[in-house]
Structure 1
């Protein structure tokens, strides 16, 4: 029996969960494992339960105290509580059960820090609120523009009978200006939203990268007739499981492929390749476009560079796209490089570890 207790004690001291026990009558803490002591910044176990309750957020303390007094009747299961530790608010999920051992009352429980989950959800809600605001603005402004476009179209159609070329030309010119203005408005909001999304914490999860990228490229493949550029996906691996934030990876790939489309003439090709290197995964985006001039290469990943190029079809650039790509890739533990020759094409190579280890976000 003693050996089993020693094994359980060793397991508890090495567990990531915060495990503890206390006397519900006297309010004495009998045990607190290493994870809990580390979380609280304590070198030794405090004597009284009240010493711990002082760190509970004031709005949660009273209700938690009532639940602790009623433990004999009802256990506490997955109770969210805010703790203030070292000046920061942390969120713990508490589970506590009463026990009666040899006539002695004791309560045992464990706690899990889920602060990152709460912050992630709060950021997502904030992010969605911004998106909804943007959609409301766009829908209002574009709806008004469509009404004007309809009137101008009616004017142009009605003028076909009169045959006045000046009226027709002015109507078509106005229609073009309105379309360009709305396209610029949409692009500016999308770029702003893309940058803002960097503030959303990483949501790393294990995914099958082959399926994710194949499904994403299928969307571009459907637009081949519109762009006149062909898409290819190459991989020798049916499944590659790795830790990644799928949404941010899609943002990166969308940015790289959009750049390729800007500078790849009709009948060109964009090829996305996926390689399993064992502990790492490689993704490349290669095009047969006009390439990157040598004079631009040194500033390519700078946040605000003055080496901006207009796309082959007049697409404007804000000079931040590849800086965003590099920032997001490094945030997810990866790296990005490129090779390019004028009139021969460009290839961007991404490399990610399969297992993600949390590290600092690069400076924005």
Structure 2
């Protein structure tokens, strides 16, 4: 096992004062397709294969490593022609060389399989959560309608037939009510179970990870006759996220907006990159939130909870948990609303390093290649 592990982990030693690699192990050849003797000459071509979105990120960390500060594991992608990107976790530490100068010792772990597996898992979870929300919205509405029809028919029954039919209508009404409760309980259990797991933070492109869930929400709500749209940034915006938890927050905010928006109304999501943060806004032109309720919407078991327009119930935990998850990401969740005109929920989270753009080529050259 040790031999297999050694063959897939590249280890190198970089002399900071001399500005060159003074040692690289034999794994460099099969893993990075280079020659140990030619490693320094091959560095420019190798680093040119770093994914464009990771170049500024790597350059920022490399500059810190060269200054002897902030050592910590980072993950970067290496592009391969006609293949998926190769992911590496770089784990650096300092060592004093024989001449007394500082050496940077770094191990590169190929984590491609784990990263691709995680991406597939996150996509599956988001699709599952979207499906549950859309189906619960549709099924709850149908059961609530059946319950209301049963109530109406019971009230309108003539006395002569009431004894024979009233019991069946009561059963229909109770079954519908319990079905709605079961559906919402299932969603709440799923959400709280997801919140209870440990955070797993990754540096990701926010627009890229939101594209799948938002597209599925759009398709699902379109099939139900609702108006839902979204917009994503043209450029990559990198943030540090627990992808599963954060997408669940956005899904919950969209579901909440749908509850208080009439069938002819609109709900839309906007994802943008700002100079110092990323922003996700979930807006609607629904019934809005009364001014007296606004200060309480994020409270646990909030007094601001109310039935949705189609009779959807809430226990008042959703927005509180959403706020908690956002704060775990060092972000903020806020709301603005005008009664009768709609609401806007805004999520702001910090950008990751190298989040919005590449470093200029000459700066990357200066920081990385020398």
- TM-score, L = length of structure 2: 0.51
Aligned to 1:180: 177
| Cα contact 2:207–2:233 (8 A) shared by 1 | no
Q: Which runs of 5+ in 2 are unaligned?
A: 1-13, 23-64, 74-91, 95-105, 126-160, 354-370
1:221-240 deviations in Å (ceiling 9; x for gaps): 22335654301112342533
- Show the 5 A alignment for 1:30-179: 170-179=167-176
User: Within the alignment, does 1:235 sit opposite 2:232 as a pair?
Assistant: yes
| Cα contact 1:227–1:266 (8 A) shared by 2 | no
Higher RCO structure (Cα 8 Å, ≥6 apart): 2
| Cα contact 2:297–2:305 (8 A) shared by 1 | no
Query: Structure 1 residues 4 and 312 mapped into 2: Cα distance closer, same or farther (>3 Å)?
Result: closer
Deviation, 1:4, is: 5.8
1:175-203 deviations in Å (ceiling 9; x for gaps): 34223213313322432442343231211
User: Within the alignment, does 1:210 sit opposite 2:204 as a pair?
Assistant: no
| Secondary structure of the structure 2 residue equivalent to 1:253 | helix
| Secondary structure of the structure 2 residue equivalent to 1:294 | coil
Choose 1 or 2 for highest CA Rg. Answer: 1
Aligned to 1:308: 305
| Cα contact 1:229–1:264 (8 A) shared by 2 | no
1:287 counterpart (284, 287, 297): 284
Query: Structure 1 residues 334 and 5 mapped into 2: Cα distance closer, same or farther (>3 Å)?
Result: closer
Aligned to 1:89: none
Deviation, 1:174, is: 1.9
CA distance in 1, matches of 2:15, 2:322: 52
Query: Structure 1 residues 266 and 35 mapped into 2: Cα distance closer, same or farther (>3 Å)?
Result: same
CA distance in 2, matches of 1:193, 1:273: 25
1:241-282 deviations in Å (ceiling 9; x for gaps): 332111111111111111111110111000100111134211
Aligned to 1:352: 349
| Secondary structure of the structure 2 residue equivalent to 1:239 | coil
- TM-score, L = length of structure 1: 0.52
Deviation, 1:295, is: 0.7
CA distance in 1, matches of 2:164, 2:256: 38
Aligned to 2:329: 332
Aligned to 2:56: none
User: Within the alignment, does 1:267 sit opposite 2:279 as a pair?
Assistant: no
Query: Structure 1 residues 178 and 303 mapped into 2: Cα distance closer, same or farther (>3 Å)?
Result: same
Query: Structure 1 residues 166 and 278 mapped into 2: Cα distance closer, same or farther (>3 Å)?
Result: same
Aligned to 2:41: none
Aligned to 1:194: 191
| Secondary structure of the structure 1 residue equivalent to 2:312 | coil
| Cα contact 2:238–2:352 (8 A) shared by 1 | no
Q: Which runs of 5+ in 1 are unaligned?
A: 18-33, 37-108, 129-163, 357-364
CA distance in 2, matches of 1:5, 1:265: 64
Query: Structure 1 residues 292 and 4 mapped into 2: Cα distance closer, same or farther (>3 Å)?
Result: closer
| Cα contact 2:272–2:278 (8 A) shared by 1 | yes
User: Within the alignment, does 1:220 sit opposite 2:220 as a pair?
Assistant: no
Deviates more, 1:304-313 or 1:231-240: 231-240
